[in-house]
């Protein structure tokens, strides 16, 4: 029984080692810093916010996120779940802003260990 438990713990730990490093994404949401996400965005990105849902350039996505962060000043952000499969992945987080909590979904692709955000959904 101990061997099975130890094997399971090691397996879960190893899976975590292969997940993409999304620390900078979490930090950007925590600080409300949309500009720092631009370097990680694909050229075209799908963005869904409470006030807008569209596919746009990364420049426009940063502008829309800036407006969202101005209206909803972030006070905290935490990653609830992250999963990667080959060259794609997603994360789900909780963004706290004043008395409101928002669910954040980010999908991305990876290429040579570089993340390219494909979509951001804030609900």
Does some domain include residue 88? yes
Does some domain include residue 10? no
Domain that holds residue 100: 21-122
Does some domain include residue 64? yes
CA angle 20, 98, 50 (to 5 degrees): 65
Does some domain include residue 12? no
Per-residue model confidence as pLDDT tens digits over 44-102: 999 999 999 999 999 999 999 999 999 999 999 999 999 998 899 999 999 999 889 99
**Assigned token pair, 51:** 């006030």
Does some domain include residue 60? yes
- CA of residue 27 relative to chain centroid, distance: 10
Does some domain include residue 72? yes
CATH number of 27's domain: 3.10.450.50
* Number of structural domains found in the chain: 1
Does some domain include residue 16? no
Mean pLDDT to the nearest integer, 9-15:
49
Per-residue model confidence as pLDDT tens digits over 13-35: 444 445 678 899 999 999 999 99
Measured from the Cβ of residue 38, the count of other Cβ atoms closer than 10 Å reads 15
């Amino acid at each position: 029984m101990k061997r099975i438990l130890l094997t399971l713990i090691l397996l879960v730990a190893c899976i975590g080692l292969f997940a993409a490093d999304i620390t900078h994404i979490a930090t950007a949401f925590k600080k409300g810093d949309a500009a720092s996400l631009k370097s990680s965005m694909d050229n075209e990105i799908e963005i869904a916010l409470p006030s807008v849902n569209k596919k746009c350039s990364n420049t426009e996505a940063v502008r829309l996120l800036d407006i969202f962060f101005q209206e909803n000043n972030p006070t905290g952000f935490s990653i609830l779940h992250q999963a990667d499969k080959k060259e794609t992945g997603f994360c789900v987080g909780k963004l706290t802003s004043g008395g409101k909590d928002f669910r954040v979904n980010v999908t991305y692709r990876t290429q040579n260990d570089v993340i390219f955000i494909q979509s951001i959904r804030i609900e």
